[in-house]
Amino acid sequence: MNYNWNWGIFFEASPEGNGTYADMLLSGLMWTIVTALCAWVIAFAVGSVIGVLRTLPGRGAQMVGNAYVELFRNIPLLVQMFLWYFVLPEVLPESWGTWLKQLPNAPFYTAVVCLGFFTASRVAEQVRAGIQALPRGQRMAGTALGLTTAQTYRYVLLPNAYRIILPPLTSEFLNNLKNTSVALTIGLLELTARARAMQEFSFQVFEAFTAATVIYIIINLIVVTVAGVIERRVAVPGR
Amino acid sequence: MTSSAMPPVSPVSEPQAATDAAPGTGPVGTLLTERPPVTATTGPMIAIDDVSKWYGDFQVLTNCTTSVTKGEVVVVCGPSGSGKSTLIKCVNALEPFQKGQITVDGTRVADKKTNLPKLRSRVGMVFQHFELFPHLSITDNLSLAQRKVLGRPKAEAEAKGLALLERVGLKAHAHKFPGQLSGGQQQRVAIARALAMNPIVMLFDEPTSALDPEMVGEVLDVMVELAREGMTMMVVTHEMGFARKVANRVIFMDKGEIVEDAQKEEFFGSPRSERAQTFLSRILSH
């Protein structure tokens, strides 16, 4: 292999004209983080609601929850990205579609919504598992004290369920963060997209992807560390 | 944080006389700080009328009829799987039933128009496995429903909880979490949690069955005192000593049916049914 190593490449000006290659990667990292956080807000909120629906006694609520989960977790994320970005504007009424296509930062909004809804289906499954892992008597005790169903979930079931599912939820957050890279296919300039651009501009493929790899690992290790801190903070004494 | 800061939830006029269960007037007002408000002046506190229940094709309750009058302590016993826990859970509609009717203080529990959370908040329930909320401190366990269901202010709810905690002998544990208490202690907290709602009746679903033997006594002591203070109680239990001591009536169930429903003396003295005789001889022979 005849390859010219050049680790100094990161400090050379990028052809985009506004900074070095390192700046380019960092701006990609910023988009990765912002996209992941925004998508997680949607995933956590929607996933919690859907997960709760699947544990309610009513058949209707369960069916809505099941339909959501099966729809969003059985279509590949990449296909979902294309559906949201390329197909949705075409099937909507024309004025809406045009508005969507002209939206500034459309790849970002699309990636957030798509990734959020996709991850929500997985969060929902974990929330359901967490609630079902609780002793049946917990729900009964809340109900017997006169708490409404909503209050029983809010004050009894969910606080316990979230504690149980914190470790798998951490994994889900990591997946969510890594899955932002799929959004490069719809033009989001996140970290992987920026590494690829760097490779194409400079031909330093190893340096570019080594940097991206290291940055992903560091970010995810930070997430794992923070999750560990949260886990200890919310741990219930005597358990 | 003084208990004197607690206004009574509703002024109840009738000074309740000591019941039959209290030979020699017991210390009135030790566990029950306020007399439970009751709306129906006549009729039984709990009326179970011809109740049947099925799980699919399997019938778990068959034409159960009985009642519990105010101040009465009724013990429900019978072999496991006889439907006694199911029956008691029907009383506050934790379990639905398909036939018959149950009224609590004049309110039909199976009526769609009944405000079930409100009804349940007036019916205290104690479970076999305590079911304290593990993520909440003992103080919060005691005050959660007072605040969210009855709308009591935080300070009042905590003071009430603390007062009851003291009466079950656990004041020093207020800051702890359920997982840090023994089974017997947890069950006493669970009783205090139910009492904090000023219930008009208390349901106990095998309250000592999950306890180590040495902890059974401390829980029964609280229940005995509660009975002596005139609380209306329906108790599913195998503790025949408790039944002898404080029960007014004993209901014996087998295979989903109420086989025997008799005054305590009659039940222990000369049970009419063969099934009750067999059951008694089995559990009293040790």
pLDDT in tens, B41-56: 667 999 999 999 999 9
Min distance A1 CA to chain B CA atoms (Å): 60
Min distance B133 CA to chain A CA atoms (Å): 7
Write b or e for each residue in A155-187: b if 16 or more Cβ atoms lie within 10 A of its Cβ, otherwise e: bbbbbbbbbbbbeebbebbbebbebbbbbbebe
In this predicted structure, what is the pLDDT of residue B34? 62
- Confidence category of residue B172, pLDDT binned at 50, 70, 90: very high
Say if the Cβ atoms of A160 and B133 lie within 8 Å: yes
Report whether A219 contacts A190 (CB < 8 A).
no
Average pLDDT on B20-30 reads 39
| pLDDT value at B18 more than 70 | no
- Confidence category of residue B40, pLDDT binned at 50, 70, 90: low
Cα separation, A40 vs B152, in Å, equals: 37
Residue indicated by tokens 């401390």? B218
| pLDDT value at A218 more than 60 | yes
Q: Which residue of A has its CA nearest to B197?
A: A145
Say if the Cβ atoms of B179 and A141 lie within 8 Å: no
Helix (H) and strand (E) counts in chain B: 9, 10
CA neighbor of B201 nearest in space, from B64, B83, B106, B80:
B106
Secondary structure (H, E, C), A84-145: HHHHHHHHCCHHHHHHHHHCCCHHHHHHHHHHHHHHHHHHHHHHHHHHHHCCHHHHHHHHHC
Report whether A177 contacts A220 (CB < 8 A).
yes
Which residues of chain A from 98 to 137 reach within 8 Å of chain B, CB to CB?
135, 137
Most distant CA pair in chain B, distance: 56
Q: Which residues lie across from B258 on neighbouring strands?
A: B253
- Confidence category of residue B271, pLDDT binned at 50, 70, 90: confident
Cα separation, A44 vs A26, in Å, equals: 27
| pLDDT value at B245 more than 50 | yes
Angle, vertex CA B57, rays to CA B52 and CA B62, nearest 5: 20
| pLDDT value at B28 more than 50 | no
In this predicted structure, what is the pLDDT of residue B272? 86
Residue indicated by tokens 């609630």? A131
| pLDDT value at A124 more than 60 | yes
> pLDDT digit string (tens) for B181-228?
999 999 999 999 999 999 999 999 999 999 999 999 999 999 999 999
Measure the CA dihedral B59/B205/B103/B9, to 10°.
-160
**Cα-trace Rg, chain A:** 22
**Cα-trace Rg, chain B:** 18
Secondary structure (H, E, C), B181-220: CCHHHHHHHHHHHHHCCCCCEEEEECCCCCCCHHHHHHHH
What's the ipTM? 0.86
Q: Which residue of B has its CA nearest to A142?
A: B145
B231's tokens: 């609380």
Min distance B33 CA to chain A CA atoms (Å): 19
Indicate the DSSP class of residue B62.
Answer: E
| pLDDT value at B7 more than 80 | no
CA neighbor of B81 nearest in space, from B58, B57, B47, B56:
B58
CA neighbor of B189 nearest in space, from B140, B252, B238:
B140
Say if the Cβ atoms of B94 and A151 lie within 8 Å: no
Q: Which residue of B has its CA nearest to A159?
A: B135
Helix (H) or strand (E) holding B254, with range, is strand B249-254
Residue indicated by tokens 């690992």? A217
Q: For residue A87, report the phi and psi dihedrals to the nearest 5 degrees.
A: -90, -45
Task: Record the pTM.
Answer: 0.87
| Residues whose CB is less than 8 angstroms from the CB of residue B123 and which lie 6 or more positions away in sequence, other chains included | A144, B91, B92, B104, B199, B200, B201, B202, B203
- Confidence category of residue B270, pLDDT binned at 50, 70, 90: confident
Average pLDDT on A226-232 reads 95
Helix (H) or strand (E) holding B251, with range, is strand B249-254
| Residues whose CB is less than 8 angstroms from the CB of residue B195 and which lie 6 or more positions away in sequence, other chains included | B31, B32, B124, B164, B202, B226
> pLDDT digit string (tens) for A21-69?
999 999 999 999 999 999 999 999 999 999 999 999 889 999 999 999 9
- Confidence category of residue B35, pLDDT binned at 50, 70, 90: low
In this predicted structure, what is the pLDDT of residue A33? 97
In this predicted structure, what is the pLDDT of residue B22? 34
* Domain edges within chain A: 30-188
Mean model confidence pLDDT for chain B: 87
In this predicted structure, what is the pLDDT of residue B6? 44
Interface list for chain B against chain A, based on CB atoms closer than 8 Å: 89, 92, 94, 117-123, 125, 127-129, 131-135, 144-145, 148-150, 176-181, 193-194, 197
Min distance A137 CA to chain B CA atoms (Å): 6
Min distance B99 CA to chain A CA atoms (Å): 20
| Residues whose CB is less than 8 angstroms from the CB of residue A10 and which lie 6 or more positions away in sequence, other chains included | A20, A21, A22, A25, A207, A211
Average pLDDT on B124-144 reads 97
First-to-last alpha carbon distance for chain B, in angstroms, is: 48
Say if the Cβ atoms of B177 and A155 lie within 8 Å: no
Which residues does chain B have within 8 Å of residue A148's beta carbon, measured at their own beta carbons? 117
Report whether A146 contacts B149 (CB < 8 A).
yes
- What's the fold here for domain A30-188? MetI-like fold (1.10.3720)
Which residues does chain B have within 8 Å of residue A130's beta carbon, measured at their own beta carbons? none
Mean model confidence pLDDT for chain A: 95
Angle, vertex CA B216, rays to CA B211 and CA B217, nearest 5: 165
In this predicted structure, what is the pLDDT of residue A81? 97
